[in-house]
Amino acid sequence: MSDVLLVVVDAANVVGSVPDGWWRDRRGAAERLRDRLAADGVPGRDGPVEIVLVVEGAARGVSSVPGVRVESAPGSGDDHMVELVAEANGRRVLVVTADRELRRRVGELGAEVAGPRTVRP
């Protein structure tokens, strides 16, 4: 089991947490979040982290960059994030989202959950 914390970020939820016009350019907003994550990591988390940014809908196709793997959900972003947590095989996982149902689902699988402010000022 890896001691590297897996951080799964709900791009749509985190981007949507601040009304800054993201709805006019969902892909661009996801790219800005990706770039912020690549530059800043996860504030307050000591030790190495692996960041996975899950995108869906109009943000699909955003590319990965060093430090952030971007995964385009083939269907529901929530379902894809639950799959990532389920496949972690006991690894420590932090899911960043404010979505209550998603928080419940990944929490049942043993993931820690945190809100969008964890990665977005």
Q: Is 65 strand, coil or helix?
A: strand
Distance of CA 39 to the CA centre of its chain: 15
Residue 113 β-bridge partners: 95
Angle at CA 68, nearest 5°, toward 46 and 11?
Answer: 100
Q: What is the pLDDT along the chain (121 residues), one digit of tens a residue?
A: 568 999 999 999 999 998 888 889 999 999 999 999 999 999 888 789 999 999 999 999 999 999 999 999 999 999 999 999 999 988 999 999 999 999 999 999 999 999 999 997 6
Q: What local confidence, expressed as pLDDT, does residue 90 receive?
A: 84
What pTM, to 2 d.p., does this model score? 0.95
DSSP state of 59: G
